[in-house]
Amino acid sequence: MSTARLAAAFVVALCAGSSSLSAQSIDVARFFVGAAVGLGLHESAHVIVDEAYGANPGVRKVSAGFIPFFAITHEPVTPVKEFTISSAGFWAQHIGSEVLLSRRPHLHAEHAPMLKGLLAFNVVTSGIYAGAAFVQHGPAERDTRGMALSAGVDEPWIGATVLAPAVLDAARYYRPDSRVLIWASRAAKIGGAMIIFKAASAGG
């Protein structure tokens, strides 16, 4: 092979590598856009319920360990309203994950980085909140604490109700044809929401 052809082959290979790298970068960006959409849906759910109850939502800077973040705050409300407001973000996640896994059951095999980012946010966020609930540590405004106080139950139990759907949805992602996982996931989501009746009995 002549020097000119060797150089041409090298340039073609380099361009192909750059194209592949660029495609990977775009997929990563789309993945994080999907995660950002998940965050937006979670926080928007809190605000929508706050507004529906006339609880005057606001924003307060908080920190999760060394990570600066923000929390949606609101005026004091009845236990059942507090439970609903605190749960709204998780309910938005559950609905989003359920729609994704029901309509795109084989998402794992698809090239859909944005949708995978959204699902990953839902699963990972629930896991982080559950961890905070188990050790009962983190910002006082954390959702699991609000749910526990309003329902009059220990926060680790709330953590378990948040974690179970996330674990089952992650399993469904890899085993989409398992009817047991599908219905166990749905039952876990509904079961967690039913704690609202405990909040109602606490004076809602």
Q: Over the stretch 85-107, which tens digit does the pLDDT of each residue have?
A: 999 999 999 999 999 999 999 99
> pTM above 0.75?
yes
Measured CA to CA, the distance from residue 123 to residue 43 in angstroms comes to 15
Number of Cβ within 10 Å of residue 195's Cβ equals 20
Cα separation, 146 vs 22, whole angstroms: 44
Per-residue H/E/C for 106-174: CHHHCCCHHHHHHHHHHHHHHHHHHHHHHHCCCCCCCHHHHHHHHHCCCHHHHHHHHHHHHHHHHHHHH
**Helix, strand or coil, per DSSP, at residue 58:** strand
Q: Which one-letter amino acid corresponds to residue 117? A: G
Cα 89 from Cα 175, distance rounded (Å): 26
Closest-CA residue to 91 (of 190, 176, 198, 173): 190
pLDDT of the residue at 52? 93
pLDDT of residue 74: 75
Per-residue pLDDT at 24: 86
pLDDT of residue 69: 60
Q: How confident is the model at residue 1 (pLDDT cuts 50, 70, 90)?
A: very low
pLDDT score of 11: 46
Q: Could you tell me which of 197, 202, 196 has the C-alpha nearest to residue 86?
A: 196
Please name the amino acid found at residue 12. V
Q: Nearest to residue 57, comparing CAs of 41, 40, 36, 71? A: 71
Query: At 138, is the pLDDT very low, low, confident or very high (cuts 50, 70, 90)?
Result: confident
pLDDT band at 76 (very low <50, low <70, confident <90, very high): confident
pLDDT in tens, 9-51: 544 444 555 555 688 889 999 999 999 999 999 999 999 999 9
Q: Is 16 exposed, middle or buried (0-12, 13-18, 19+ CB in 10 A)?
A: exposed
